[in-house]
Structure formats: structure tokens, C-alpha cells
Chains A and B, each alone.
Chain A
Amino acid sequence: MENPKANITSTAAGQHEKKDGAGGPIILFFILGLAASLVVGWVFVPETFYYTKEQPIDFSHAVHNELVDNGCQSCHFFRADGSYSGSPRLAQCIECHQEANSDDPNEIRFVEEYVKKGREVPWLVYSRQPACVFFSHAAHVKMAAIDCVTCHGPIGESDSLRPYMKMDDCAECHAQAKVSAGSVQTQKDGCLVCHH
């Protein structure tokens, strides 16, 4: 059986559209409004969530990497127990920076404010992990022979730092390499590999 009600509605709508000539401007206005909202949402709103912080000293990896003999491991090294030293402490910096070696204002400020006062530099370490994450540099660098550059980017040649690494970056590589497919639940890496 036909549905008379649907017929009536469609005819009425058709007549209504013919009478009203304002459809074009309304659609245009709607599209402009939508575009403006998207620009605000994508460009300006994230600005309010994130903020930037300056490092206490504008450290240049590029300058240092040229002067040291042993590449990254000159300052970032493994301890005898296999743990990783991470960011160097002041004691390491002092080995070269007892006095200012140049007239660079950053270095002079570093010597004045930190070396002479014996204060540790409060570096903002973006790569610091939350308490529930275990990351082993030994497993990646010593055993899997992955270059520093693979995860950290060409940081040794740059004057800026890669902001942070997300879990997806870890998971992508682990999935491709099938690092340790021991999980009964997922048939892939278990959460236990990095989290506990």
C-alpha cells in the first residue's frame, strides 16, 4: 500500500522551497560560519591548552657534539649496572665549564648562576616517563642496536629539542618488529613489557 502521508509532506516541502528565495545566502552563511568555527577549533583552541616553557639555559647540542670525542655517549652514558644516566649532572658539565670558555651570554650565565653557586640546572626534561612506565635504554641501544637518532631525531645537530614521545611511537615500532609477542590476551607485546 502507498503511504499517502509521505507524498503530502514532500509536495508541501517542494512548494515551500519555490516560494522562499533566501536559500542561497543561508547556505553561504552556514558554510562561512562552519569554516570559521573549524579554524577557531583547530588553530586557536589548542593554543589555550598547551603552553611553552623556556629551558633555564639555551643549550645547543650542535656546538657540544662537535667538540666531544665520543658522540652522544660522551655525556649520556650507561652506568655499570646497565641503568642510563640520562641528562648530565652539574659535576659532568664542570669538567669543561669550570670557567666560561667563550663570551657566549648563555655560557656566562650558566657559569655565574649554576657553576659558581654549585646549583644543579633545573632542566625541563621532556622525555621523563610517568611512574607507571619502564623504559630500558640498555635493551634498545645495547641489545637491539638502535641508534639514538631513531627515537630522538637528529638532536645532536640541532639547537632545539624534540618535545616528547607518545606511546604510539613506541607501539608502532614494537608492532612492526614483533619485539616480544608473549601476551596471551593480545598475541602481541603484553602491557607488562613497559608498564607495571
Chain B
Amino acid sequence: MDQHNGSNKKFGMVIDLDKCTGCGACMVACMAENNVPVREDETNKMLSLHWMRVYRLTNGKPFPQSEECFLPRPCQHCEGHHGHSPCVSVCPATATDYDMHTGIVSQIPTRCFGCRYCMAACPYHVRQFNWWDPVWPDGMERMLNPNVSVRMRGIVEKCSFCYHRYQIAKDKAYAEGRRELQEGEYQTACTQACPAGAILFGDLNNPKHAVARIAQPDPAREGKSRNPNAFRLLERLGTNPKIYYLSTREWVRKAGDTEVRKPEKA
């Protein structure tokens, strides 16, 4: 008997790329919320850690037709087939797991031993490796979030959909004798930080939540959106991610589903 009460949730996001201005507030809010370490020299972006990262897309056309789009990329929290997302399937330490009750792909830093199979398996580069122990500038350690443990060197970390906020919100609900949360009670740091309101967060299984209304996932087609403006990154891989992107521009929607193109024959 499973004592888990209430229906299974499937937390996900809808990110409107037409609203995103690329300001990076989500990245900053995420790093502050989750105690993501910074280094003295952050010039080499290949070595810096970001749970949330904003990419810049261009349509590759010359000036009059040139267009840009910014794409915020948190962990996609892939469901795959029945929770077998790419990273969960390969983890030999059970450090990463798929939770059927929330749809969150978890990463437990104290179980991870840093083999980095998951980083190789993840098609979205959301997983980050701690090459060094975190060193905080003087006084900054007092600004750390007490609800998120600081990770040591030699392990992998990634976005958790601010799971600690879910736990704190549930505590409050329990104290008031409720089991179900309101939509606004559990929101991620990036969602709340976005000044353009481009990021929406909620339960994709709950038709009252904005994400479910906009993303309109089709369970018969592995959650593919019924909204013609919505797409997910690399959808054809079958990763079944829970981050839906919106754009009215066709080139942006195509950019989210790149394939390896065969070189054109001469």
C-alpha cells in the first residue's frame, strides 16, 4: 500500500521565448537560491556552473532579416518512458532518480561519486560538474540559502525545480491541515525573478494551472503539445521533457528541434 495521498503531480514549465529579453535575471536568481558556486575567474564559460542558462539563438541571416532569440534552459526534467530519462537510466549510484509523484528528476549530491555518465547521457547539457570545492568571497557564505546543501568538488549537480521550496510549501499546508498546494505556493526562483513574466511554472496534470492550459500536453503522444506555438527541445529523441517553449516564430521552433544534417553532396 502506498500512503502517498492525492493525485500524482507533474511539475513543468512553459517558457515564452517571445517574451524573454535575455536579461539573465533567472540565472542570477537560480544561483543565489541554490548556492551555485562562482569562481574568481569566470571567463571560461565551459567551466562555470549554471543550473539555468540563457542561450542566444540567431536565424543566421544577414542584417535586414537577422533575428535573435534568447532561450533559458533549466533541467528539462525528462520523463522518457515511465520515468526512464536518459540520466536516470545510466546512473550507477542511484544518485539521480525520477520521482513519479512530482515528475522531478532528482540529483542527490551526497550519493553522487562523479562518474559523469549522466552528463554524457543528457542531451541538453543541463548537468554541471564541480571541478573545485566552492570558495565564497569573504562574507558571501552568510548569504547562502540554508535550505539547500552546498556541493563539494567531484560531483554533479543540476536544477531541482527548487524542490526545497516544495517541501517548505508542503510544511505550511500540513500545518493548516491541507495536503494540496495552491498554484502560487510552490514556484521556482527563476519563475519569480523573470521581469518579463516569460517563465510559468506549475503542475502539468492539473488543468487549472496555467502551464497545463497553455502547454496542453497530449498523453497519447508522450506529452507533445497541442498548442501549435509550443515545442520541446529535441523532442524527436523521445526524452519527453517537461519544459515547453512558446514562440510564434517558425525559425525558433525549428531551432529547438535540430537534427544532425547530412552534408550536402557536391
Contacts and interface: CB of A to CB of B under 8 A. Distances in A.
Nearest to A140: B174
Contacts of A83: 168, 171
A143 B5 CA distance: 11
A190 B3 contact: no
B149 A136 contact: no
Counting contact residues on chain B (CB < 8 A from A), the size range is 35 or more
Given A143-B179, A192-B163, A196-B106, A183 B97 contact: yes
Given A131-B149, A180-B3, A182-B99, A138 B175 contact: yes
Contact of B98 (A130, A138, A143, A184): A184
Interface residues of A, number: 30
B100 interface: yes
Contact of A186 (B2, B94, B146, B179): B94
A166 B265 CA distance: 65
B101 A182 contact: yes
Interface in B74-91: 82-84, 88, 91
Nearest to A79: B175
Interface string B5-41: 0001000000000000000000000000000000000
Interface in B162-216: 163-164, 167-168, 170-177, 179
B3 A178 contact: yes
Contacts of B256: none
A82 B97 contact: no
A139 interface: yes
B97 A139 contact: no
Contacts of B1: 178
B54 interface: no
A131 B150 contact: yes
B44 interface: no
Contacts of A191: 94-95, 97, 106, 108, 111
Contacts of B163: 192, 196
A177 B3 CA distance: 7
Interface string B213-248: 000000000000000000000000000000000000
Interface in A170-196: 177-186, 190-192, 195-196
Nearest to A136: B171
Interface in B50-78: none
A26 to B, nearest CB: 46
A36 interface: no
B45 interface: no
Point out which of A79, A80, A134, A177 has the most chain B C-beta atoms below 10 A from its C-beta.
A134
A192 B104 contact: yes
Interface in B99-114: 99-102, 104, 106-111
A81 B108 contact: no
A107 to B, nearest CB: 33
B2 A181 contact: yes
Point out which of A79, A82, A178 has the most chain B C-beta atoms below 10 A from its C-beta.
A82
B47 interface: no
Interface string B148-159: 111000000000
A195 B170 CA distance: 16
A180 B170 contact: no
A132 B3 contact: no
A181 B4 CA distance: 7
A63 B214 CA distance: 60
A162 interface: no
Contacts of A182: 4, 8, 99-102
Nearest to B179: A143
Interface of A: 78-83, 130-132, 134, 136, 138-139, 142-143, 177-186, 190-192, 195-196
